[in-house]
Chains A and B, each alone.
Chain A
Amino acid sequence: MNDILIKNGRVIDPASGRDEVADVAIARGKIVRVGKIKAAARQTIDAKGCIVCPGLIDVHVHCREPGHEEEETIATASAAAVAGGFTTIVAMPNTHPPMDNETAVLYVLQRAAEAGLARVLPVGCITKGREGKELAEMGSMVDAGAVAFSDDGDGVASSELMHRALQYAAMLGVPLMQHCQDGALAGVMNSGEVAVRLGLGGIPTSAEQIMLRRDLELVERVGARYHVQHVTSAGSVELVRDAKVRRLPVTAEATPHHLLLTDVGCSSYDPNYKVNPTLRSAADVEALRAGVADGTIDCLATDHAPHAQEEKELEFGLAAFGIVGLECAVGLYAKALVQTKLMDWPGLIERMTLGPARAIGRPLGTLAAGAAADVTLIDSKARWTVDTGKFRSRSRNCPYDGWKLVGRPVTTIVGGQVKFSL
């Protein structure tokens, strides 16, 4: 007997190209079959009017544990994830201490198992202490369960070190994820008219593009898989597009805030609009949306970055960078890409499931028989209002409070168990 039968939903499975009303049967934590299913199950979920798709994957989440448990823990991040429809989150290593060794990787996996909600896949640091000086023990971390490497928060400045890190990543068969930013071109918001008027230090788009260009040069030489984190600029979209034409093993992600907000948001000095990388111009937003729509950008990722109130209730220049996004991501992506008619739901779901699964090289993001039963049900027509007061995340640094959105996850199933239900 099946454990769960999801009846009459619009099943969208980008891996097989399926988009039809069907049923999904789950047993012993695996997908049994998709189709017209009569057999009884211990639990039946009526999915009429809902999209049934592979569990959503977010390749860019800051869980803050260890070190900043007052902002988020692996348990609260996992709870926020499943409430946002995510069955898998990829945890960034800029914790305190940084996740730069196998013990730290094992700790994150253990805490995730204790939380028992979403799958949490750890990313290890590229360099020891995230200091950009010496390679971290990448091999040991892969053995412990790291799925990729990044010094997220900073780019790897040294070309020599980046070259060697790519060589190691190629040997280990895991991607290097880069926060492309030349740290010497520093500031607190996008360079341009708004920054000049506000008297705030600007970060030009070239800060991102300079590092991306260098990395693509190295990737071409080494052949390692390379993932561009949180792309912000039209120029970067063009560089990734060109790299794909040249068949380089490159993937890229875009965040909800870079798809929806511009630097004009900083005009009132509200630190909820302070984020790294920074919010760009309307033209950049347009190019980024087009990049997601045409597949240049493979994944949507929240860069969920929780911060305590005291780190945000400061002067703009002194406040911490970051926005939380897990619990409103689906509605935000739909607003940026579906309601603008740039994409349809199957396309959007591909960027939240199969695209991210491929970027991290994991056999997830599919409803194929035998695959892990990670399934998300989305009510694509549900109208709702973002209320940060109800977030399961520990932090509230979110510029979308009060936004009216259309489309939200209603049920999240991880490994055949219902972990969230609206």
Chain B
Amino acid sequence: MDELSAQEIVHLLDTAESFKEVSTRSIKKVPALRGKVVALLFFEDSTRTRMSFELAASRLSADVLLFSSHGSSVTKGETTLDTARNIEAMGVDIFVIRHSQSGAPHMLARRLAASVVNAGDGQHEHPTQALLDIFTIRQRLGNVEGLKVAIVGDIAHSRVARSNILGLRKLGAHVVVVGPPTLVPSAIRAMGCQISHSLDDVLGEVDVVNMLRIQFERFSSNQFPSVREYSRLYGMNSQRLKRCKKNVLIMHPGPINRGVELTSDVADGPNSCILQQVTNGLAIRMAVLYLVSQGRQ
């Protein structure tokens, strides 16, 4: 999201809007990427993003190659670059890459002739997640400009947080990141957001609450004292929901730790748009693949 302008983001969202309709047809397919090869390189586990990209590429009639590092030559010591170069040698137009290392897609984009789409790199960015989040906010609340969005949880290690901050700021929303100081680096202010360490302090004034998944390994490395306490301080439950604006939007990029970030009644309640986010993700990824392939021509 760092490289995209506000205008480009809006264009992406509008393109996704037109692709949403494809999924309502009886034959859910368009020939936009017919004869093109999309290779999905997933060096890190993923359910939603991988399946969403796979389905998006299929609906655009592309041939899809699926790679996951389990059971591949990566376990024999092949580097990311060599893996990608070898797959590229089969004739690939677009790579979609998910990697645990920040900057891995940037490294590949420098070295490969094919286009590279970032499907999440380390703790850096997850641009299609931010796009689908913003798309969902626009759909539910009508616009993005002027809204106040809280992003709650492990900001330090979250690529979802970074991409959302960048995208939301570009479209004129206010962003406040919420979490304990061990999980919220003070330097994140330079990205244009506010910091709060109290969820209760911000609840009443925000239009959107985006709850990030908490990774349990952060607990073992002393970044918070216990899951129980974390949930008490930063978890969203029905009492907290009552203190929010009536039509507040509750989001989560998934996978959810039920009872930790969100209680089930909130996750499955009327303010939640978690499944809508997933649905919209498909249209966003179709738009991204389509526009990237247009850009190549």
A395–chain B nearest beta-carbon distance, Å: 18
User: 1/0 contact trace for A191-202 toward B, CB 8 Å?
Assistant: 111011111101
Instruction: Tell me, yes or no, whether B259 is within 8 Å of chain A by CB.
Output: no
Task: Please determine whether B123 and A200 come into contact, CB atoms closer than 8 angstroms.
Answer: yes
Task: Please determine whether A313 and B79 come into contact, CB atoms closer than 8 angstroms.
Answer: yes
User: Which residues does chain A contribute within 8 Å of B124, judged by CB atoms?
Assistant: 198-200
User: Which residues does chain A contribute within 8 Å of B156, judged by CB atoms?
Assistant: 196
User: 1/0 contact trace for B189-221 toward A, CB 8 Å?
Assistant: 011000000000000000000000000000000
Docked CA distance A314–B185 (Å): 26
A197-B162, A199-B122 known; A314 vs B79 contact (CB < 8 Å):
yes
User: 1/0 contact trace for A308-319 toward B, CB 8 Å?
Assistant: 001001111110
Nearest-CB residue, chain A, relative to B166:
A197
Instruction: Tell me, yes or no, whether A384 is within 8 Å of chain B by CB.
Output: no
Instruction: Tell me, yes or no, whether B121 is within 8 Å of chain A by CB.
Output: yes
Task: Please determine whether B191 and A314 come into contact, CB atoms closer than 8 angstroms.
Answer: no
User: Which residues does chain A contribute within 8 Å of B169, judged by CB atoms?
Assistant: none
Instruction: Tell me, yes or no, whether B81 is within 8 Å of chain A by CB.
Output: yes
Task: Please determine whether B81 and A314 come into contact, CB atoms closer than 8 angstroms.
Answer: yes
Docked CA distance A159–B159 (Å): 38
Instruction: Tell me, yes or no, whether B264 is within 8 Å of chain A by CB.
Output: no
Docked CA distance A195–B99 (Å): 18
Instruction: Tell me, yes or no, whether B68 is within 8 Å of chain A by CB.
Output: no
User: Which residues does chain B contribute within 8 Å of A195, judged by CB atoms?
Assistant: 187
Docked CA distance A27–B80 (Å): 57
Task: Please determine whether B190 and A318 come into contact, CB atoms closer than 8 angstroms.
Answer: no
Docked CA distance A191–B101 (Å): 17
A199-B122, A199-B124, A268-B106 known; A315 vs B187 contact (CB < 8 Å):
no
Instruction: Tell me, yes or no, whether B256 is within 8 Å of chain A by CB.
Output: no
Docked CA distance A313–B80 (Å): 10
Task: Please determine whether A317 and B187 come into contact, CB atoms closer than 8 angstroms.
Answer: no
User: Which residues does chain A contribute within 8 Å of B181, judged by CB atoms?
Assistant: none
Task: Please determine whether A196 and B185 come into contact, CB atoms closer than 8 angstroms.
Answer: yes
Q: For chain B, give the interface size range.
A: 20 to 34
A184–chain B nearest beta-carbon distance, Å: 11
Task: Please determine whether A196 and B187 come into contact, CB atoms closer than 8 angstroms.
Answer: yes
User: Which residues does chain B contribute within 8 Å of A269, judged by CB atoms?
Assistant: 102-103, 106-107
Nearest-CB residue, chain B, relative to A317:
B101
User: Which residues does chain B contribute within 8 Å of A192, judged by CB atoms?
Assistant: 187
Instruction: Tell me, yes or no, whether B64 is within 8 Å of chain A by CB.
Output: no
B193–chain A nearest beta-carbon distance, Å: 11
Instruction: Tell me, yes or no, whether B188 is within 8 Å of chain A by CB.
Output: yes
Neighbour of B121 across the interface among A196, A199, A268, A310, CB < 8 A: A199
Within 87-135 of B, Cβ neighbours of A (below 8 Å) are at 99, 101-104, 106-107, 121-125
User: Which residues does chain A contribute within 8 Å of B125, judged by CB atoms?
Assistant: 199
Task: Please determine whether A313 and B81 come into contact, CB atoms closer than 8 angstroms.
Answer: yes
User: Which residues does chain B contribute within 8 Å of A314, judged by CB atoms?
Assistant: 79-81, 107
User: Which residues does chain B contribute within 8 Å of A315, judged by CB atoms?
Assistant: 80, 99, 101-104, 107
User: 1/0 contact trace for B153-182 toward A, CB 8 Å?
Assistant: 000100100100000000000000000000
Neighbour of B187 across the interface among A193, A199, A313, A316, CB < 8 A: A193
User: Which residues does chain B contribute within 8 Å of A193, judged by CB atoms?
Assistant: 187, 190
Task: Please determine whether A317 and B106 come into contact, CB atoms closer than 8 angstroms.
Answer: no
Task: Please determine whether B101 and A318 come into contact, CB atoms closer than 8 angstroms.
Answer: yes
Greatest chain B CB density within 10 A among A193, A198, A310, A314 is at A198
Nearest-CB residue, chain A, relative to B122:
A199
Nearest-CB residue, chain B, relative to A196:
B187
User: Which residues does chain B contribute within 8 Å of A318, judged by CB atoms?
Assistant: 101
Task: Please determine whether A316 and B101 come into contact, CB atoms closer than 8 angstroms.
Answer: yes
A310–chain B nearest beta-carbon distance, Å: 8
Task: Please determine whether B79 and A317 come into contact, CB atoms closer than 8 angstroms.
Answer: no
User: Which residues does chain A contribute within 8 Å of B122, judged by CB atoms?
Assistant: 199-200, 317
Neighbour of A199 across the interface among B79, B159, B190, CB < 8 A: B159
Greatest chain A CB density within 10 A among B2, B121, B122, B162 is at B122
A193-B190, A196-B190 known; A316 vs B103 contact (CB < 8 Å):
yes
User: Which residues does chain A contribute within 8 Å of B121, judged by CB atoms?
Assistant: 199
User: 1/0 contact trace for A288-324 toward B, CB 8 Å?
Assistant: 0000000000000000000000100111111000000
A313-B79, A314-B79 known; A199 vs B188 contact (CB < 8 Å):
no
16 A–B contacts from the bound complex (CB under 8 Å):
A195-B187, A196-B191, A197-B162, A198-B102, A199-B103, A199-B123, A200-B122, A200-B124, A269-B103, A313-B81, A314-B80, A315-B101, A315-B102, A316-B101, A317-B102, A317-B122
Footprint of A on B, CB under 8 Å?
Answer: 2, 79-81, 99, 101-104, 106-107, 121-125, 156, 159, 162, 185, 187-188, 190-191
Known: A315-B107, A316-B102. 12 other contacts (CB 8 A): A196-B191, A197-B2, A197-B162, A197-B191, A199-B125, A199-B159, A200-B102, A200-B123, A269-B103, A313-B79, A314-B107, A317-B103
- 9 closest cross-chain pairs (CB), A and B: A269-B103, A199-B124, A199-B123, A315-B101, A199-B102, A193-B190, A196-B187, A193-B187, A317-B101
